[in-house]
Amino acid sequence: MAKTDVRVAAYEECDEANAQVSVVMAVGNLPIGITSTLASVQNDLFDLVADLAVPLDAAEPATARIRESHLTRLERAVDHFEPDAADLSGRVLPGGTVAASLLYQARAVVRRAERAVWVAVEAYPSAVNPLCARYLNRLSTLLFVLARGANAEHGDVQWAPEASALAMAQEDGGADDAATDGASERP
């Protein structure tokens, strides 16, 4: 298989996601319950790469496959850690504490890996397990919940739509010229 094949790209993205989770664990100074959950996630991500490496329709069995029980365990982890998170309905910026920032970064890497796996599923529907992509989707939810929980004591960084543009317009004493007169950007 070529190194540029979408299946190879998918498991390389998953390797990166696993490495990012390891950074969270090493630097995040998280409670043992979260670190233990993330260690289990790392093992799952190895299962996931093993699944992606051997097509579903291969004659040889894969060392591991992602199963519904992997997803169920993630759902239970989300339910377990959700009470530690602030209201999940708000729009927050990735940041806050070091732990939350690292968890948000890991989430972004996991979401990219999920997209790569969906591309592989579409390209090889009989060879790539769609549960791999679904697992990554649920993992991104868990990482979001953990990030919100990591900020619970200090508060999240809230998104303020158009905050910098409105501040500039207010400072200039008028409306945003680019929005009102169609002015173009500087060269």
Examine residue 68 and state whether it is found in any structural domain, yes or no: yes
Examine residue 167 and state whether it is found in any structural domain, yes or no: no
Tokens of 54: 């051997």
Domain that holds residue 77: 6-159
Examine residue 165 and state whether it is found in any structural domain, yes or no: no
pLDDT for position 175: 56
- Torsions phi, psi for 31 (to 5 deg): -60, 155
pLDDT for position 119: 97
The CB density around residue 117, as the number of other CB atoms within 10 Å, is: 31
pTM greater than the 0.75 cutoff: yes
Domains in the chain, number:
1
Examine residue 130 and state whether it is found in any structural domain, yes or no: yes
Q: Render pLDDT for 142-164 as a digit per residue (tens, 0 to 9).
A: 999 999 898 877 777 777 677 77
pLDDT for position 174: 60
Examine residue 46 and state whether it is found in any structural domain, yes or no: yes
Examine residue 133 and state whether it is found in any structural domain, yes or no: yes
Q: Is residue 45 classed as helix, strand or coil in its secondary structure? A: helix
**DSSP of 98-113:** HHHHHHHHHHHHHHHH
- Distance (Å, whole) CA 101 – CA 79: 21
Examine residue 166 and state whether it is found in any structural domain, yes or no: no
Q: Could you list the beta-strand ranges (E) of the chain.
A: 92-93, 157-158
Task: List residues bridging with 158 in a β-sheet.
Answer: 92
Q: Which stretches of the chain drop beneath a pLDDT of 70?
A: 86-90, 160, 167, 169, 172-187
Could you tell me the CATH number of the domain that includes residue 53?
A: 1.20.1200.10
Examine residue 1 and state whether it is found in any structural domain, yes or no: no
The answer to whether 51 and 132 are in contact (CB under 8 A) is yes
pLDDT for position 177: 52
Tell me the C-alpha to C-alpha distance, in Å, between residue 128 and each of 14, 40, 140. 14, 23, 20
